[in-house]
Amino acid sequence: MACIEKIYSVSALVGNGDCNANCSFCAGKYLRKDVNNDGLYHKNLESAIKLSARYGGWSLSLTSSGEPTCDPEALTNALEVYKKCADQGAYFPNVNLFTNGILFGDEVFCDEYLPKWRELGLNNIAVSIHDVDENEQAKIYGLNEYPQLEKIVSNVNKHGLGVRGTLLLRKEGVDNAKKYEHSVHTLFEKGINNITSWPVGEPDG
């Protein structure tokens, strides 16, 4: 019988699946039919956090089949579960919220929710970046306008949280070394110096 050696991280879907963007390549729509926020969800989340902590866990990532900030109460509830676990010893040094970043351009939204979320243990906002030009970012997200990245950084940093740029690699976007280098330098200039990357493909192939 195989034994567990390490469970470094936990990823959890939160919220009702609503989204404020309209990406042509959305993969989340395939998960929305399974959205479930009943009591069992929170028990399962608590169990997953505690199990991971027991086996060396150091990171909790909260995301959604839509956009998690569109259901802020569900996000608060998930962080309350984590806070309960952390108070009982299942503490993770990295608690990340994966987001399209749109609502973090709204200072009123940030002032309302970020202090509470930080108090509950959130420490990083991971913003998905398809293009470092906000006009192109808006087109990709199906918006008329996308917030300036500098504004997002300012709103988040104001409340003592960090911003991580998740630079997404996809065909006809950031798809070669030159574009990648340019994007990284531009993000540095916009105040984002914590950057990760991964490829994105069409969900239908």
- Give the pLDDT confidence of 4-29 residue by residue, as tens digits: 678 888 999 998 889 998 887 776 66
Q: Which residues contact 149 (CB under 8 A, 6 or more apart)?
A: 101, 127, 129, 132, 134, 187, 190, 191, 192
* Other CB atoms within 10 Å distance of the CB of residue 164: 19
CATH number at residue 180: 3.20.20.70
pTM over 0.85: yes
Q: How many domains does the chain fold into?
A: 1
Per-residue pLDDT, 198: 86
Asked if residue 28 is part of any domain, the answer here is: yes
Which stretches of the chain drop beneath a pLDDT of 50?
A: 1, 203, 205
Query: Is residue 1 included in any domain, yes or no?
Result: no
Quote the pLDDT of residue 172.
82
Q: Answer for the pair 58, 92: CB distance below 8 angstroms, yes or no.
A: yes
Q: Is 168 within the bounds of a domain?
A: yes
Instruction: Tell me the pLDDT tens digit for each residue of 143-160.
Output: 999 999 999 999 999 999
Q: Which two tokens stand for residue 80?
A: 């309350």
pLDDT (0 to 100) of residue 17: 87
Range of the domain at 63: 9-199
For residue 2, is it within any domain?
no
Spatial distance between the Cα atoms of 79 and 77, rounded to a whole number of angstroms: 5
Q: What is the token pair recorded at 166?
A: 């998740």
Residue 158 covered by a domain: yes
In a domain, 205, yes or no: no
